[in-house]
Structure 1
């Protein structure tokens, strides 16, 4: 499956996030191949597992029954906004429902949303995971090819990083997202800046795992970016038989 990452634009106001400082603060055993906790997707014989913070709630991306999907979104809103007015919970459920199509268009196979507050200021963030085809040139280093492509597209601040599961590429920046007119007073909707971190992990089967955190609320950036560092640091890879898989760093390859 080949998908295109969401369009992005760099900005002087891009968050001051240091993507090299990823530290695994989530116990690795919680992301085992058969763990009940955490999130998972599978990629042609490779099982990808990671742990999500409790503040994030899974979106029903692939629920085909509309009534069941609506029920799940109502349940999500009640968990994310405990004690809130019914109108506020309904608004969150609608926002989530309207965002699902965009996530699916981006190739998301998993997505979750968090709603919180910093002081009196509300904030929210979405995390999604997708599987895309790695660069096709077999002789090319996929890390270098991904980083080069992102830099050519001026997608944001691009770096090669090392996660516990193996080497990866991070991209940090700001893009402009459109909020549908159904949620605004403007019939044409409005455009708002969204800060994001995207991480690419090339897998040995020709597929690349893409994970992204995006937030339109700058006030929550520090907290959400720290959470995302923990999320990607919790990624664990497993072979089809359950054996752990760690992709070696290029510098240590024989």
Structure 2
């Protein structure tokens, strides 16, 4: 299988203007935008027409694996199609996939974005509430961070993902360790943006983690009228 090689320089310039490289979700009266690298390809999560969804997934596979055999395109298309239910179950509003190589090692990653209700702590500090909840759940390494768009929480860990028997020689399927970085960005309207990058391929962890750092650093928030919105640092008034 031929896959594009990850670029050696991973820099993405944040933008406030809509462009083919800018992805977005709408959280009621707040518009969230971020920049995706070209090596990622959008998954048609919310395409209601089944035939059109199949066409879009096939086109995705061909873009992700240029020059590959038809059999490889079909395998990737099946993997993407089978993974859509899990993404939707996670509440994903947006998702994209990358298939690449680090040296001779094939690797892949998925990025998704979801919106969820913000938790309420006793002091109404969603950052502290999110961090506390993740630590209690032992979800991974939890860190409170500051992004250009405002304060956030990151969680880095590993989970076991189930791979259906349709993709393996074992009809019972397999359990695959999957590494992930998840970032939570509480918004002023009691909604939290959740973005996650996950990869089952250890060789791709470092470059994909770097990519994801650039992606979340490019997040920009806008009011309904298009006015840029920056959430103040929690310590700004301290």
Query: Which category of TM-score, normalised to the shorter sequence, fits these structures?
Result: over 0.9
Name the counterpart of 1:86.
70
Q: 1:100 & 1:79 partners in 2: Cα distance?
A: 18
TM-score (norm 2): 0.93
2:109 to 107, 118, 125: 125
What is the deviation of 1:136? 3.4
Q: 2:150 & 2:119 partners in 1: Cα distance?
A: 17
Counterpart check, 1:172 vs 2:156: yes
Counterpart check, 1:27 vs 2:13: yes
TM-score (norm 1): 0.88
Gaps of 5+ in 2: 1-9
Give the superposed CA RMSD: 1.3
Counting only pairs closer than 5 Å after superposition, residues 9-48 of structure 1 correspond to structure 2 as: 25-29=11-15, 31-32=16-17, 34-48=18-32
What is the deviation of 1:138? 7.0
Aligned residues: 229
Counterpart check, 1:146 vs 2:142: no
What is the deviation of 1:241? 0.5
Q: Is the 8 A contact 2:150 2:230 kept in 1?
A: yes
Name the counterpart of 2:6.
none
Counterpart check, 1:110 vs 2:94: yes
Moved segments of 4+, more than 6 Å = none
Pick 1 or 2: higher relative contact order, CA cutoff 8 A, min separation 6: 1
What is the deviation of 1:187? 1.2
Q: Is the 8 A contact 2:12 2:37 kept in 1?
A: no
Write the deviation string for residues 103-148 of structure 1: whole angstroms up to 9, x where unpaired: 0000000000000001111000000000000013473210000000
SS at match of 2:235: helix
What is the deviation of 1:218? 0.4
